[in-house]
Structure 1
């Protein structure tokens, strides 16, 4: 399989190649086998093996599939030895970047919405103001290797196990943030919902990780809430596919987005409740 990148996305190509080589060395079989890369080409390219399997996005996961998903992400988080992980750069899209984007987008969107949607935005900003998310530099939780993308389409079920693809945003991270990426990603809302609480209950998190997970879920949920574009169709646009710095066009916001994207798991009221409730 040949994966080509735009010239301006050279960093994504480098992260993809780094992830594939690390996982090939420390978790063989979990991800595509890296064959070659040309990181200096005008259009950088990575050549890798093609993995069999069906994406888990939009499916009702059996207990076997859910446990296989947990096993795959757990193996990935633990794969890279500490001394090697120390040399891996922090992944993009971490909390401070998301908070900055929320603060940039919400003022541009807030005047277009009212009712419970507007209340949710206001409460989201109020929560940010009283949380420690902006003040915490390096969370006091164990470091792991993270894929940087919670889209369930990147997790392939082959009938026996789950394998992982797409590492453009991978890097140094922590389990709570990466798990929140999965449970709050739009892919977990489209079609049959991911059984998020059951999924998360299968991880043995320590006290600090559980506290951070709650905060990260609210942050990622608020981010997704503030960045829903009205142009979303059956394959929702994610923040990684939108031009950097471009605010969302949310003229009709959640009700229309939900209708166009085919959201069935969460109504606009449920999304608002999800973001504004204490958890």
Structure 2
């Protein structure tokens, strides 16, 4: 069995992984408690309602003080760092559609809310904004950030609050590294942030995640991906608001990057400011 530590693991992993030919063991190094339980719960639900979409849960002891979860190994390579052309985009949309529609509503309602949902993200934005770093003081970036904070104080459209809120199992981490392409279909991994969510928020999670655009090697057409989902006007309104919220979060998060140990390419903060500005200028959904 190969052991991958945080230093030797593939680029986007933050945990200790033990990769065998048929099994993967995961030891959690995340600052938030409850990640192993969330992942185990989600994998069990998916094993029952969408077998083959995600790893099968094999072993987990919730009383272990150093949580270690063993799951089946699924085939495929991460979409992040690749050209996600039309075929892969369609397969990604098919996998996400299955994920968000397979678990019965009664089971989803019983789940805890996913990590980094709207209320938590809003609080984090205010916290980070209060001690914003120098990278956000560049005039053009500061202007977009100020516009974003003004937007944050406005109420979301009532229609967006009422529509598209059928509860779904949200994976909770839209990093394209968590979507594995095997040449035929996409499978999904990493459910430690999972929980109760809604369609619009989960689509925004994928399209606005920095992993969908920040590297030159990643080519992903977010609008083409979103066009594969039949959204009504209320869902489109909510999607736009969710995208704005998460784009604002990412602007503040990227600005916190350690200048001496950059995790993202230079210019990422300026590029993210441009993405946020475009979303803030985007007209409300029509029809």
Residue among 266, 275, 278 paired with 1:259: 266
- CA apart distance, 1:10: 4.2
Match of 2:225 in 1: 199
Note closer, same or farther for the CA distance 1:199–1:98 as it changes in structure 2 (3 Å cut): same
Match of 2:253 in 1: 227
Residue among 30, 39, 44 paired with 1:21: 44
CA contact (8 A) 2:168 2:196 kept: yes
Q: Deviations over 1:151-174 (max 9, x none)?
A: 000000001100000000001100
Number of equivalent positions: 255
Match of 1:250 in 2: none
Residues in 1 aligned to 2:196 and 2:31: alpha-carbon distance in whole angstroms = 22
Note closer, same or farther for the CA distance 1:269–1:180 as it changes in structure 2 (3 Å cut): closer
Residue among 273, 276, 279 paired with 2:277: 273
Q: Deviations over 1:162-206 (max 9, x none)?
A: 000000000110011011010000001122342011100000112
Residues in 2 aligned to 1:22 and 1:153: alpha-carbon distance in whole angstroms = 22
Q: How large is the Cα RMSD of the aligned pairs?
A: 2.6
Deviates more, 1:21-30 or 1:81-90: 81-90
Residues in 2 aligned to 1:73 and 1:52: alpha-carbon distance in whole angstroms = 17
Match of 1:148 in 2: 172
Residue 164, structure 1, aligned to residue 168, structure 2? no
Residue among 54, 66, 77 paired with 1:31: 54
Residues in 2 aligned to 1:260 and 1:121: alpha-carbon distance in whole angstroms = 16
SS in 2 for 1:48: strand
Residue 62, structure 1, aligned to residue 88, structure 2? no
Q: Deviations over 1:31-90 (max 9, x none)?
A: 001111111101112110111111000211121111000000000001101222221111
Residues in 2 aligned to 1:164 and 1:233: alpha-carbon distance in whole angstroms = 33
What's the TM-score, normalizing by structure 2?
0.81
- CA apart distance, 1:8: 6.1
Unaligned runs of 5+ in 2: 1-23
Unaligned runs of 5+ in 1: 237-256
Residues in 1 aligned to 2:209 and 2:170: alpha-carbon distance in whole angstroms = 15
CA contact (8 A) 1:143 1:173 kept: yes
What's the TM-score, normalizing by structure 1?
0.83
Note closer, same or farther for the CA distance 1:2–1:207 as it changes in structure 2 (3 Å cut): same
Residue among 124, 148, 156 paired with 2:148: 124
Note closer, same or farther for the CA distance 1:110–1:121 as it changes in structure 2 (3 Å cut): farther
CA contact (8 A) 1:110 1:118 kept: no
Note closer, same or farther for the CA distance 1:49–1:104 as it changes in structure 2 (3 Å cut): same
Residue among 103, 119, 122 paired with 1:80: 103
SS in 2 for 1:3: strand
Match of 1:208 in 2: 234
